[in-house]
Structure 1
Amino acid sequence: MAELRTARTPTLEIAYEEHGPPDGPPVVLLHGFPYAPRGYDEVAPPLVAAGRRVILPYLRGYGPTRFLSADTPRSGQQAALGKDLLDLLDALSVPRAVLAGYDWGGRAACVVAALWPERCAGLVTCTGYNIQDIAASVTPAAPEQEHRFWYQYYFHTERGRAGLAANRAGIAKLLWRLWSPNWDFDDATFAASATAFDNPDFVDVVIQSYRHRYAYAPGDPALEGIEEALARQPRITVPTIAPHGAGDGVGPVEGSAGHARFFTGFYQRRVIPLVGHNVPQEAPAEFARCILDLPPG
């Protein structure tokens, strides 16, 4: 494991790890909920071997990352995730980077790629286009998909908030099993990531995220302009590869089948047999290959 570093942005003290040559082409690897940078432990080495500078941040509400002010809303909305990533690039003086992620991390990467394409040299986004269409969230999904989203509806309630606060590791481990039914991870593998959920802002950030995406909670007023831009479902122009695990238990593989319409440049979708939601940790070689196969952007 690399030495833990921190970068100060206008909002956060972001904890991150870094691997590889400092002058190599930068790649930022972004984890999702409920995961942590440990999911990239086997992705980073082949990237470093290829000469890449690899940056692995802890998202807001995870690990040692901390808010600078008690007055900042503990928001997990998509605009916050994207702005955090943009601010991290600024704090590290990285003009352009390949952005790669899944779940919340894939969303952050898509936001920056869509709204600040000049900062994104290429994009790897699991399950395709991850920018939320909040206006359309009132439309019910198929019953099977509504069932998969049980945890989101749970978090909409105060019982769900209390449940997450009381048993964050237990809920996360259950979601790992449900979302990656073919992945036989052991207790040590889970525990290595679960320590990141002990962050004092984890519960508030998670609850706000899942309420905001259904318009059940207000967003951070400072981010409203970004949310307005995302509401237009902006197209992504940078070169993109979208891996999708065929065994994903929360976002079935057919969900990304029509996502090419959101991308106006190079776009390739790769379905990975048997793999579930946590593609980097379940199929690290394939995920790293997606990054290395991106054409120049």
Structure 2
Amino acid sequence: MTNLVRVRTAVLDAACEASGPQDAVPVVLLHGFPYDPRAFDDVTALLNQAGLRTIVPYLRGYGATRFLSKDTPRSGEQAALGQDLLELLDALNIERAILAGFDWGGRAACIVSALWPERVLALVSCTGYNIQDIARSQKPADPAQELRFWYQYYFHTERGRNGLTGNRGEFCKLLWKLWSPAWAFDEATFDRTAASFANDDFVDVVIHSYRHRLQNAPGDPRYAGIEARLAAQPKISVPTINIHGAVDGVNPVRSSEGHAKYFGAQYQRRVFEGVGHNPPQEDPKGFAEAILDVRKMAGE
């Protein structure tokens, strides 16, 4: 049985879906843009059957999660996501957890694993080491990769903000199709997630995330210290399995080759054939197996 749990952090009234034995090893599962906890429905069922506790939060700007104050900047920067996750662990009285996520959620999991490894039993992330190197963000990628990032450049314009505001459903559905070209999701599957995009803060958080990472929007001063630590590209020193979809339409599979140098503990890279940018929903069995395997790597 899944329960909706609400906890208060420093800036959020955070909503999470919790299931599985209360006293079991906790696994925090983190979605990205433009997704929500529905990406993990089949994964949580498998993990609960294996005796693990699962917590699946709605990130800031999604679903039932709300900011406590209208005056809090609607930041989507990486440091904010990492700090949100750390504060969520505190609010839930979780001393150490397995962290698993993709896209923005994978980034948050990497950040906590890198900066606060004492809180992390093990990590499952996607597309390699994905802590942003913002200082080098003005260095262009190859032209084909620049094309894949078209949506990011669109979001740097007011036309892009207006487009996301007025067409968020169709826009996000297009990204699903482009990023996971082999995934034949139906309308009902998309609609269940798209409900989370109705959050009043969704557009502001998304736009800030993409503008900040390219140095086109200031960060929230609250997170300046964390951003400074992330600028050093810290190594991740917890057992890690990194997943990369072989047909990821935004981050090609070759882009995570050689990322083992960013990890200082046991590290595995797994390529999921026929899978795109959303591995937990496209291959829930493989994603759940990675979590169970990294748990063994950690000796739990």
- TM-score band, normalised by the shorter chain? over 0.9
Query: CA shift at 1:38, angstroms?
Result: 0.3
Q: What's the C-alpha RMSD, in Å, of the aligned pairs? A: 0.7
Q: Which amino acid aligns with 2:108?
A: A
Distance of 1:176 and 1:134 partners within structure 2: 25
Distance of 2:60 and 2:3 partners within structure 1: 19
| 1:216-235 correspondence runs (5 A) | 216-235=216-235
Distance of 2:227 and 2:54 partners within structure 1: 29
Q: Which amino acid aligns with 1:251?
A: N
Q: TM-score, normalised by structure 1?
A: 0.99
User: Partner of 2:289 in structure 1?
Assistant: 289
Query: CA shift at 1:33, angstroms?
Result: 0.1
Q: Report the number of matched residues.
A: 297
| Percent of pairs with identical residues | 65
Q: Which amino acid aligns with 1:201?
A: D
User: Partner of 2:78 in structure 1?
Assistant: 78
Distance of 2:18 and 2:64 partners within structure 1: 15
| 1:106-185 correspondence runs (5 A) | 106-185=106-185
Q: Which runs of 5+ in 1 are unaligned?
A: none
Distance of 2:246 and 2:73 partners within structure 1: 36
1:125-153 deviations in Å (ceiling 9; x for gaps): 01111100001110010110000000000
Q: TM-score, normalised by structure 2?
A: 0.98
User: Per the alignment, in what secondary structure is the counterpart of residue 271 of structure 2?
Assistant: strand
User: Partner of 1:204 in structure 2?
Assistant: 204
User: Per the alignment, in what secondary structure is the counterpart of residue 122 of structure 1?
Assistant: strand
User: Partner of 2:254 in structure 1?
Assistant: 254
User: Per the alignment, in what secondary structure is the counterpart of residue 42 of structure 1?
Assistant: helix
User: Partner of 1:105 in structure 2?
Assistant: 105
User: Per the alignment, in what secondary structure is the counterpart of residue 41 of structure 1?
Assistant: helix
Distance of 2:239 and 2:298 partners within structure 1: 8
1:261-280 deviations in Å (ceiling 9; x for gaps): 10010000000111000000
User: Partner of 1:12 in structure 2?
Assistant: 12
User: Partner of 2:68 in structure 1?
Assistant: 68
User: Per the alignment, in what secondary structure is the counterpart of residue 43 of structure 1?
Assistant: helix
User: Partner of 1:270 in structure 2?
Assistant: 270
Query: CA shift at 1:45, angstroms?
Result: 1.2
Q: Which runs of 5+ in 2 are unaligned?
A: none
Query: CA shift at 1:246, angstroms?
Result: 0.1
Q: Which amino acid aligns with 2:298?
A: P
